[in-house]
Amino acid sequence: MSEVLVVGAGPTGLATGCLLRAAGVDVRVVDRRPELSGPEDSVLLWSATLGALGEIGVGPPVQLAGRAVHAARYVDRGRVLARVPLQGEHPHLQPVVLGRATLQRLLCERLAQLGVRVEWDTEALQIGTSGHGVSLVLDRRGHRAEAGAAYVVGCDGADSTVRGAAGVGWEDVGAAGDGDSAYAEIEARTRLDASTAHVFRSGGGVVMLLPTAAGTWSVVGYARDLQWGPRPGTAQLQALLDSCGAAGLVRARRVVSFVPGDGSRGVAATYRAGRLLLAGAAAHAHPSRGGEGLNLGLQDAHNLAWKLALVVRGAARDRLLDSYDAERRPVARAALRDTAAEERRVLAGESRMARWVRGSVPAQLRRDGELEHRLARAAVADADYTGSPLTTGSRLAGADHVPGRPFRVAPGVDAAAAVRGDGAITLVLVAGRDGPAATLPVLHAVADRHAPRVRALAVPGAPGTGARPAAGYVLGVRPDGHIGYRGPASDRGSLEAWLRDGVGLLPGRG
């Protein structure tokens, strides 16, 4: 019996396997496909996703294989609304466009380096749970065998067997969309800047053009009056581009691949049913136009793996896993609602972006570049867990180190100092003007009670300025880089309560 069995070796399952294994968990990954295969559709990986991939250990090869996207340009009825620089927190977090098949190959290789081989041609058929674990029937090329695991993570895509076994249905989040979006990869003649994502919209539709690593363009969008056949040709793609306002700027020469929108969208009613957990496309379905499914799936894995590692090793109470649902489901719901609302506005002839830029944003803001800054932050933003039951501490608006948000120490530096991919929580002392000497030993004493699951370190001052606050404070940085706790450096009791009652750590275990 393994500690965790991951069903599905798509991007989400592979990432989950890597993160669990790196945290010391005995994990199996099975997939019904005969081998690693699949289309090389291009996906845009956001910086939060790249942070997770970096932690997994595939950051540099992902950047090497992908094409960096430095800006997003929005053109509304022929008028450039904004050109938004897309900068990650760090050069290695620069958003990139990468083929899905390449990403899966890199993750698969990393998993093998960590000592886990994907079991291909192995389908999970029956799944049953008891108080002690999960039993499965696995079919390997017609041979059926029983298997057991303490927990099963269903990363088995839209028609998830695990979700079915858990009896979990789809929740209506009011995200029904009207647009028939489609994805295509095309060879094109264009002078558009090939380091930028270009969004064109008009009353007729909206299209995003992404430069791919192969030198082609990926086209995601829809037009109000366009019906897609099973294999549209260049003329139809050109009609899409033209009706969205890219006429004369992009000339489609060949359609390399085409995937029609299937209209699927929804969120599982829960991401956890006892020992069964759902992640990625098994938990949420997005229209491909949103460009979100894969990013959110990898971030699900990042959120879930450290919690599951602590629980299976006996270092934390099982209820820590409830926070996975509490934190990740709202993110998928919000993404779906945003996409649907945007679609409706576009079809009604008015996009949120257009309205905002034309109407409500003062000219001053636009001149000063603040608009670009805000849009860029929205485009690469990390999930925000400020409302999570795992988050404790003062939520001072505009303050540094906000509980629920990612931990940053200075511009250009990410959470690498605190997050090392080993599943440990880091207690960070942000030294006050009185210096760290008095408090750091206390922090070490707290960490030692939970070693090696908790460690302590000190950093100088606030992010951005490095200035020391009047009073020092302590942060509890989760293994996924989010701040779970913030409190006064002198308040040892609250910190211990967060570890014990919030996270549910069991001292001296695991």
Q: Pick one of 293, 393, 481, 484: the residue that binds ligand FAD (CB under 6 A).
A: 293
CA–CA separation, 364 vs 367, rounded Å? Answer: 5
CA–CA separation, 369 vs 379, rounded Å? Answer: 15
Cβ-Cβ contacts under 8 Å for 459 (sequence gap 6 or more): 409, 417, 428, 429, 430, 431
Q: Are strands 143-154 and 2-7 parallel, antiparallel or unpaired?
A: parallel
Q: Pick one of 6, 11, 266, 390: the residue that binds ligand FAD (CB under 6 A).
A: 11
Q: Pick one of 4, 7, 111, 440: the residue that binds ligand FAD (CB under 6 A).
A: 7
Count residues binding ligand FAD (CB under 6 A): 32
Q: Shortest approach of ligand FAD to residue 216 CB, angstroms?
A: 13
Which one of the spans 3-11, 73-81, 374-382, 435-443 is the region binding ligand FAD (CB under 6 A)?
3-11
Q: Pick one of 27, 43, 82, 383: the residue that binds ligand FAD (CB under 6 A).
A: 43
Residue with tokens 């699951």: 453
Residue type at 125 in one-letter notation: L
Residue 31 as a binder of ligand FAD (CB under 6 A): the answer is yes
Q: Pick one of 66, 291, 404, 479: the residue that binds ligand FAD (CB under 6 A).
A: 291
Read off the tokens for 26.
């005995």
Residue 327 as a binder of ligand FAD (CB under 6 A): the answer is no
Within 179-208, which residues bind ligand FAD (CB under 6 A)? 183
Residue 66 as a binder of ligand FAD (CB under 6 A): the answer is no
Q: Shortest approach of ligand FAD to residue 330 CB, angstroms?
A: 18
Return left, alpha or beta for 427; rule: phi > 0 is left, psi -120 to 50 is alpha, else beta: beta
CA–CA separation, 89 vs 413, rounded Å? Answer: 7
Read off the tokens for 479.
């293994």
CA–CA separation, 78 vs 203, rounded Å? Answer: 11
Residue 3 as a binder of ligand FAD (CB under 6 A): the answer is no
Residue type at 112 in one-letter notation: A
Q: Pick one of 3, 41, 327, 343: the residue that binds ligand FAD (CB under 6 A).
A: 41
Residue 105 as a binder of ligand FAD (CB under 6 A): the answer is no
How many of the other CB atoms lie within 10 Å of CB of 11?
Answer: 27
Which one of the spans 292-300, 389-397, 403-411, 485-493 is the region binding ligand FAD (CB under 6 A)?
292-300
Concatenated DSSP letters of 413-468? B-GGGT--SS--EEEEEE--TT-STTTHHHHHHHHHHHTTSEEEEEE-S-TTT-PP
Instruction: Fill in the per-residue mask, 112 to 141: x = in contact with ligand FAD (CB under 6 A), - = not in contact.
Output: -----------xx-----------------
Residue 332 as a binder of ligand FAD (CB under 6 A): the answer is no
Q: Pick one of 82, 246, 277, 281: the residue that binds ligand FAD (CB under 6 A).
A: 281
**Residue 177 backbone dihedrals phi, psi, to 5 degrees:** -105, 165
Q: Shortest approach of ligand FAD to residue 333 CB, angstroms?
A: 16
**What value, to the nearest 5°, has the Cα angle with vertex 258 and ends 255 and 260?**
145
Strand ordering across the sheet containing 217-223: 79-85, 71-76, 196-202, 205-211, 217-223, 182-190, 250-260
Q: Shortest approach of ligand FAD to residue 298 CB, angstroms?
A: 8
CA–CA separation, 89 vs 84, rounded Å? Answer: 15
Instruction: Fill in the per-residue mask, 227 to 266: x = in contact with ligand FAD (CB under 6 A), - = not in contact.
Output: --------------------------------x-------
CA–CA separation, 434 vs 436, rounded Å? Answer: 7
Residue 19 as a binder of ligand FAD (CB under 6 A): the answer is no
How many of the other CB atoms lie within 10 Å of CB of 7?
Answer: 29
Q: Shortest approach of ligand FAD to residue 328 CB, angstroms?
A: 13
Nearer to ligand FAD, 37 or 360 (CB): 37
Nearer to ligand FAD, 13 or 484 (CB): 13
Q: Shortest approach of ligand FAD to residue 266 CB, angstroms?
A: 13
Residue 280 as a binder of ligand FAD (CB under 6 A): the answer is yes
CA–CA separation, 361 vs 348, rounded Å? Answer: 21
Q: Pick one of 10, 423, 479, 487: the residue that binds ligand FAD (CB under 6 A).
A: 10
Residues in the chain: 510
Q: Shortest approach of ligand FAD to residue 33 CB, angstroms?
A: 4
Residue numbers at the binding site for ligand FAD (CB under 6 A): 7-13, 30-33, 41, 43-44, 100, 123-124, 155-157, 161, 183, 259, 280-281, 288, 291-295, 297
